[in-house]
Amino acid sequence: MSVNQNPEQRKQVLDFMTSAHQSFSSVKEGANASYIPFLASVPSDLFGIAIAFTDGEVLEVGDTKYEFAIESISKVFTLARVLEELGKEEFKAKIGSNATGEPFNSVIALELHKEHPYNPFDNAGAIATVSLLNAKSSDDRWNQIISNYNLFAGRELAVNNEVYQSESDTNAHNRGISWLLKNSGNMYTDPDQACDVYTRQCSVAITCRDLAIMGGTIANGGINPVTKKQVVNKENIQPILAEMMMNGLYENTGNWLYSTGLPGKSGVGGGILAVVPGKCALAVFAPPLDIHGNSVKGQKVGAFLSEKLGWSLFNK
């Protein structure tokens, strides 16, 4: 697949997206996240697929206008911001770039490694990443994060307050992780502030189309394919994709790589992002999750489209 495809080729991509949507809409496996009460109330049969190409064209099938909680996919974009500030070597030393093989909110993983975070996608590393931003206040920290997300999406995003409230009422575990990080000297601001800003970033509402464009910015060397603005420096794309490749779907990342050959990132809101460097990004939204917190339909769509469209990075 080349970058500037003719309309015939794009039509073929749309046909594959439509057939993926038809084939997988009847899949009944998985369940909505329920440890964040709001997420359990999202209709389970919502299903959207969007692809943003590096030339700015966006293809959409299904429920691509429905706003859902970005959850852990937010970690990719905060990582991008902090990499810009710190550079990849300092970031790697402070946070890390390896997988723990444990669930994303594992305290055991933290304890096994002297309470040092292992990577920016497990909650410990993600909250520590938020704390690394050089900010004067909680509002300043938040404004830096949301303005960066807006540049990735090419529009003004907002927090879904119901999600934020629901997560804030139930995030004692993440607050505990934040204080363990403080204990080991791996928390760079007030732990409650870092955890609150992290909770807010997870509650940002996005559509499947937004997510495709946000990922498309990474696929396009850091330039938003729609607004054409440089959002992240090209040199930071490799560390972002390396982190996604290594731990984007937590303990199921290996299985995802087997079937897609692509860096991906999931969120418990039901979103999944896959990046095809230099070509496009795929975003899928379908709330039912596997036991590791990854959209079941999202993984099936990723595998199907990667195979049909020859996206795997390992088959070149």
Buried b (16+ CB within 10 A) or exposed e, 239-270: bbbebbbbbbbbbbbeebbeebbbbbbbbbbb
Instruction: Give the footprint of ligand GLN on residues 263-282 (CB under 6 A).
Output: 267-268
Residue 230, strand partner residues: 223
Q: 51 and 17 in contact (C-beta within 8 Å)?
A: yes
Which of 78, 100, 119, 123 binds ligand GLN (CB under 6 A)? It is 123
Phi, psi of 50 (to 5 degrees): -135, 145
User: Residue 159 CB, nearest distance to ligand GLN (Å)?
Assistant: 12
Which of 174, 189, 295, 306 binds ligand GLN (CB under 6 A)? It is 174
Which residue is at the shortest CB distance from ligand GLN? 72
What is the distance between the alpha carbons of residues 309 and 59, in angstroms, rounded to a whole number? 14
Q: 245 and 257 in contact (C-beta within 8 Å)?
A: yes
User: Residue 289 CB, nearest distance to ligand GLN (Å)?
Assistant: 9
What is the distance between the alpha carbons of residues 33 and 276, in angstroms, rounded to a whole number? 27
Residue among 153 and 163 whose Cβ is closer to ligand GLN = 163
Residue among 20 and 249 whose Cβ is closer to ligand GLN = 249
Instruction: Give the footprint of ligand GLN on residues 41-70 (CB under 6 A).
Output: none
Neighbouring residues of 22: CB distance < 8 A, sequence distance ≥ 6: none
Residue among 63 and 71 whose Cβ is closer to ligand GLN = 71
CA angle 56, 59, 62 (to 5 degrees): 145
Instruction: Give the footprint of ligand GLN on residues 76-105 (CB under 6 A).
Output: 104-105
Which of 202, 205, 211, 284 binds ligand GLN (CB under 6 A)? It is 202
Residue among 54 and 105 whose Cβ is closer to ligand GLN = 105
| DSSP code per residue over 159-204 | E-HHHHHHHHHT-HHHHHHHHHHHHTT---S-HHHHHHHHHHHHTE
User: Residue 78 CB, nearest distance to ligand GLN (Å)?
Assistant: 12
Q: Which two tokens stand for residue 67?
A: 């706003």
Instruction: Give the footprint of ligand GLN on residues 216-255 (CB under 6 A).
Output: none
**Residue 149 binds to ligand GLN (criterion: CB under 6 A):** no
Residue among 54 and 193 whose Cβ is closer to ligand GLN = 193
Which of 54, 72, 131, 186 binds ligand GLN (CB under 6 A)? It is 72
Which chain residues interact with ligand GLN by CB under 6 A?
Answer: 71-72, 104-105, 123, 167, 174, 202, 267-268, 293
